[in-house]
C-alpha cells in the first residue's frame, strides 16, 4: 500500500507491518507524532497503546512486554533516550529484544527542536552502564523510516537484543511517498519468554549474576553475539565510489545533502563519491578502510561536534587524511557549502603532490 506519510507516522506503520503488538511511550518533540499515531493505529490493528508516565516508565514497560515474548517498541528524542539508558542496559543484560526509536533534536540539555545528530554516541556506543551494544540503524528517507523499523524488529529477535532506529528531526517531520507491506512477517518462536503459564514457569529473565565467574560468562556470551553482528548485520550504501578520489561519509539527512554535493562536484569534473552508513553499529569499518586505500582524502559530514568522525578515523586507521564539515544547534550546511570544502580539499591535494 503506497501512502504519503510523515516520517514519524511511517515508523508506526512499519512497526505494525512488522507484527509489533505494543507501544509504550511519553511524548516529546520532535517525536510526538509517533506516540500520537500509535495511540490511534495500534488499537485498530489489535495491539496495545499505553501512555507512560515518563520515559523511565516506558522502557520498563518495554522490558516487561519483551520478557513475555511480545514484539514491542517505544520512541523518544534525546532527553528521553537519556532517561531510558538504564532500562536499555537491563534489556541487553537480560537478552531481551525490543525497538527504540530516537528522533534527535539539538542539545545538550533541553536544546531546541532543530535538526541535529548529537545522539550518535549514546545510541551507538551503548549510553548506559556495563558492557553492551545496541545495533543502530539510520534511515535517510521516509521509506527507510518504515523499512528500517521493520528490520530492527527482525534484528532484535534474531539476537535477543534491544535495537535503536536513529533519525534526525528532519526525517521525522518530512513527508514522502511510502510503500507499506500488507502482510506481517513470521515471527520466530520464543521458548525463553515468560508468559505466566505452566509451560514457561521455569523461565527466568534476569541481568543480575552475583557470582563473578557467571557474570563474566554472560559478558563473553554477549561479546560473541556482537561479533556475529559485526559479521552479518553491517549495512551501507555507496554512490559513485568506483573511481572516487574523495569519499564523503554521512548518514541520515546529512547523506541527502552529501548526495546532492556529489552530483554537483561530478558535474564540475571532480571524482567524488559517498558512503552512507545505514548501520551505525555495527559500523562498515572494513569497507571504509578499503575505500581509504583508493582515495586521497575523506570528508565526514555530520550535524554534531565530531562524533561520527571518530568511528571513521578508527576505520581509516591513518591510511588517508580525514576532514570534517559539521554544523550544530539546528543549523545545516547546503550542498554548495560541501562543494566549496571539496574544492579546497582538491587544491590542497594538488599542492601536496606537486
Q: Do strands 2-6 and 175-179 pair parallel, antiparallel, or not at all (unpaired)?
A: antiparallel
In tens digits, the chain (354 residues) has pLDDT values of: 789 999 999 999 999 999 999 999 999 999 999 999 999 999 999 999 999 999 999 999 999 999 999 999 999 999 999 999 999 999 999 999 999 999 999 999 999 999 999 999 999 998 899 999 999 999 999 999 999 999 999 999 999 999 999 999 999 999 999 999 887 778 999 999 999 899 999 999 999 999 999 999 999 999 999 999 999 999 999 999 999 999 999 999 999 999 999 999 999 999 999 999 999 999 999 999 999 999 999 999 999 999 999 999 999 999 999 999 999 999 999 999 999 999 999 988 754 543
DSSP at 200: G
Whether the upstream peptide bond of residue 76 has omega within 30° of 0, thus cis, is no
pTM summary value: 0.96
250 contact partners, CB below 8 Å, separation of at least 6: 257, 258, 274, 276, 300, 301, 302, 308
From CA 97, how far away is CA 219, in angstroms rounded?
17
Nearest partner of 107 among 305, 340, 240, judged by Cα: 305
Nearest partner of 273 among 250, 253, 254, judged by Cα: 250
43 contact partners, CB below 8 Å, separation of at least 6: 49
Amino acid at each position: 500500500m503506497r501512502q504519503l506519510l510523515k516520517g514519524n507516522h511511517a515508523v508506526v506503520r512499519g512497526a505494525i507491518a512488522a507484527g509489533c503488538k505494543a507501544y509504550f511511550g511519553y511524548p516529546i518533540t520532535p517525536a510526538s507524532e509517533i506516540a500520537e499515531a500509535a495511540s490511534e493505529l495500534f488499537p485498530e490493528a489489535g495491539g496495545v497503546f499505553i501512555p507512560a508516565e515518563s520515559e523511565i516508565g516506558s522502557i520498563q514497560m518495554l522490558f516487561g512486554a519483551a520478557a513475555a515474548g511480545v514484539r514491542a517498541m517505544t520512541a523518544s528524542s534525546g532527553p528521553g533516550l537519556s532517561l531510558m539508558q538504564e532500562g536499555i542496559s537491563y534489556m541487553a543484560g537480560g537478552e531481551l529484544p525490543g525497538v527504540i526509536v530516537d528522533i534527535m533534536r539539538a542539545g545538550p540539555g533541553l536544546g531546541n527542536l532543530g535538526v541535529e545528530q548529537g545522539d550518535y554516541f549514546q545510541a551507538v556506543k551503548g549510553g548506559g552502564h556495563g558492557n553492551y551494544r545496541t545495533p543502530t540503524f539510520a534511515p535517510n528517507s521516509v521509506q527507510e523510516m518504515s523499512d528500517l523499523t521493520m528490520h530492527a524488529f527482525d534484528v532484535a529477535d534474531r539476537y535477543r537484543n534491544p535495537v535503536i532506529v536513529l533519525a534526525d528531526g528532519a526525517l521525522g517531520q518530512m513527508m514522502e511517498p511510502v510503500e507499506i507491506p500488507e502482510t506481517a512477517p513470521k515471527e520466530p518462536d520464543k521458548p525463553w519468554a515468560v508468559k505466566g503459564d505452566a509451560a514457561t514457569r521455569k523461565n527466568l529473565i534476569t541481568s543480575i549474576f552475583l557470582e563473578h565467574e557467571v557474570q563474566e560468562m554472560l559478558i563473553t556470551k554477549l561479546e560473541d553475539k556482537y561479533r556475529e553482528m559485526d559479521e552479518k548485520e553491517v549495512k551501507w550504501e555507496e554512490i559513485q565510489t568506483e573511481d572516487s578520489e574523495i569519499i564523503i561519509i554521512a548518514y541520515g539527512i546529512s547523506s541527502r545533502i552529501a548526495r546532492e554535493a556529489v552530483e554537483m562536484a561530478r558535474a564540475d569534473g571532480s571524482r567524488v563519491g559517498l558512503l552512507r552508513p545505514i548501520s551505525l553499529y555495527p559500523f562498515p569499518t572494513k569497507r571504509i578502510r578499503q575505500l581509504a586505500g583508493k582515495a586521497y582524502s575523506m570528508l565526514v559530514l555530520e550535524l554534531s561536534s565530531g562524533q561520527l568522525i571518530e568511528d571513521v578515523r578508527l576505520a581509516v586507521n591513518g591510511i588517508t587524511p580525514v576532514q570534517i564539515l559539521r554544523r550544530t544547534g539546528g543549523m545545516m550546511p547546503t550542498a554548495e557549502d560541501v562543494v566549496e570544502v571539496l574544492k579546497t580539499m582538491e587544491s590542497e591535494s594538488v599542492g601536496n603532490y606537486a
